[in-house]
Amino acid sequence: MGPRLNSKTIYIASIVVAALVFLAEKLLEPGVGGALTITLAVFIGLAEGATVLMAGAEISDGHWHRQLLPGAGALHCILPAAVLLFLVNIPQFAMYPWWESHGVWFNQPFFIGRNVVFLLLMFVLCRVFMVNALRGSSRTNFWAVVLVIAFVWHLSMIGIEWFMSIERPWFSTLLGGFVMVSAFLSGICVLTLIIYSWRTRSDGPAKLIQKSMGGLVFGFATFWAYFFFSQLIVIWYGNIPEETHYLVRRVGPHSPYSLVSKLIFIMVWMFPFAVLLSRKNKTRAWVTSALSIIILTGVTMMYWLMLAPVIPVSIPLLVIEMGLMALLTVAAVRSREALVPALAGPVPAEEHGHATAKAH
């Protein structure tokens, strides 16, 4: 499913995707923004999230993740496409209340510039980390640390600038972290799906790794719920109108989105939690994969819910754009050996300069 690309054609494919999205935006529902922002947040999140999961495992001296490196290996290659799509999205930024003002931080050229620069920086960092990790070089830990720090700031920036500023001056100091955790969770889910698609391959990751993804999904979905609840309870309890209006519009019992918000909470946490409580289910690859799809859908709906009460978001556009990016992602994963040459060889069992750890 999906074509195979190489390091040149991926850029052509990215341009094609960007052009198609541009046309779709122009022709289908002009003047209705938000869909592309959501698409970008979801795909940047899952690409960087999966790579950072590998970085985190590298820093904590895990060895289980080495078999997953090929899976996460080429995901960062969709980030250049994300840059193009970000540029296509520029007309839609008029949806932000600060777009016309000239703040020190929130002004048009600086906003566009820093987001493009940061995206490109993340692409480079992900790539450098991946190549180092695949070659088992001794600098891997260094790049892993740099990548994790950059990821935290990048996703916080996306959360604050793309989603929080739409209801300026409402703010939640945890929203950046919340979006970051959502991205990390998406990364785990997409990695689960990739591994599941390889379950029949002889060189696919060991059954053990397939089983451990269940535990990760369980844990991080709960962590997501903890960040969700932390924000909810502080705002609910304080009951200050300048804070509560944001939640009242989205989660409150009288809001039109009340049912959707409950559904999101159930899809991203309650249902996966209940299902994955059982030890058996944590080890069943098809269960974790089905839950991953549900969680990814829920996370997309969450981004939608952040924007929807303020600006009309076009659902057909969202579906088209998500579909196109999904195709690009699948193509990137399938073409990983061409896109990341370091993937062509076998993944080293351990890193140079690290003592072999006893298998426990």
Partner 1 sequence: MERIVLQSEHDFLHKLEELVKSGVKPDNIETRTPHPVHHAEDILRMKPSNVRLFVLLGGLAGIATGYLFPSLTALDWPLHVGNKPLVGIPPYTVIAFELMVLFGGLSGFLGLMIEARMPAVRTIISNDEFSDSFEIYVKKD
Partner 2 sequence: MEHKAVATSASSHPAAIARLQIERDVIMAMQKPGLMYWGLVGLFATIFAVLLLGTWAALIWKGIGLFGLQNPVGWAFDIINFVFWVGIAHSGTLISAVLFLFRSKYRSSFNRAAEAMTVIAVMCAGMYPLIHLGRGWFFFWLLPYPNQRLLWTNFKSPLEWDVFAVSTYLTISVVFFYVGLIPDFAIVKRYTRGFSRHIYSALSLGWVGTKRQWRNYNMLYSLLAGIAAPLVLSVHSVVSWDFAMGLVPGWHTTIFAPYFVAGAIFSGCGMVLTLCIPMRKIQKLERVMPIDHFEKLAKTMLFTSMIVGYAYTIEFLLAYYSGNVYEFGIFKDRATGYYKYQYWGMVFCNMIVPLPLFIKKLRRNMKWLFITSIFVNIGMWLERFVIIVTSLAHEYDPYAWGVYHPRWPEWCLTIGTFGFFFMMFLLFCKFLPVVAITEKKEEVH
Binding residue (CB under 8 A) for partner 2 from 36, 75, 88, 175: 175
Identify what 344 binds: partner 1, partner 2, none; CB under 5 to 8 Å per kind.
none
Q: Is residue 187 involved in binding partner 2 (CB under 8 A)?
A: no
Tell me which stretch binds partner 2 (CB under 8 A): 1-9, 37-45, 68-76, 236-244.
Answer: 236-244
Class of residue 108 by CB neighbours under 10 A (exposed 0-12, middle 13-18, buried 19+) = middle
Class of residue 86 by CB neighbours under 10 A (exposed 0-12, middle 13-18, buried 19+) = buried
Shortest Å distance, C-beta 326 to partner 2: 31
For Cα atoms 121, 52, 33, give the angle at the middle one, nearest 5 degrees: 60
Identify what 59 binds: partner 2, partner 1, none; CB under 5 to 8 Å per kind.
partner 2
Binding residue (CB under 8 A) for partner 2 from 1, 102, 109, 240: 240
Class of residue 17 by CB neighbours under 10 A (exposed 0-12, middle 13-18, buried 19+) = buried
Shortest Å distance, C-beta 144 to partner 2: 12
Q: Is residue 359 involved in binding partner 2 (CB under 8 A)?
A: no
Q: Is residue 238 involved in binding partner 2 (CB under 8 A)?
A: yes
Q: Is residue 225 involved in binding partner 2 (CB under 8 A)?
A: no
Counting other chains too, the contacts that 99-104 makes at CB distance below 8 Å and 24 or more residues apart are none
Which residues form the interface with partner 1 (CB under 8 A)?
Answer: 229, 232-233, 236-237, 239
Identify what 274 binds: partner 2, partner 1, none; CB under 5 to 8 Å per kind.
none
Identify what 174 binds: partner 1, partner 2, none; CB under 5 to 8 Å per kind.
partner 2
Tokens of 238: 């304080």
What x-and-dash track marks residues 269-308 binding partner 2 by CB under 8 A?
A: ----------------------------------------
Nearest to 332, CA basis, from 120, 64, 70, 89: 70
Q: Given the complex with partner 2, which of 23 and 234 has the nearer CB atom?
A: 234
- Cα distance between residue 251 and residue 274, in whole Å: 22
Nearest to 189, CA basis, from 61, 4, 326, 15: 326
128: Cβ–Cβ under 8 A, 6 or more apart, which residues?
143
Q: Given the complex with partner 2, which of 174 and 263 has the nearer CB atom?
A: 174
Counting other chains too, the contacts that 293-296 makes at CB distance below 8 Å and 24 or more residues apart are 293/189, 293/193, 294/267, 294/268, 295/185, 295/186, 295/189, 295/217, 295/221, 295/267, 295/268, 296/42, 296/46, 296/186, 296/189, 296/190
Omega before 169 within 30 of 0, i.e. cis: yes
Identify what 156 binds: partner 1, partner 2, none; CB under 5 to 8 Å per kind.
partner 2
Shortest Å distance, C-beta 258 to partner 1: 13
* Contacting positions for partner 2 (CB under 8 A): 59-61, 105, 145, 149, 152, 156, 160, 168-169, 171-177, 222, 226-227, 230-231, 233-235, 237-238, 240, 357-358, 360
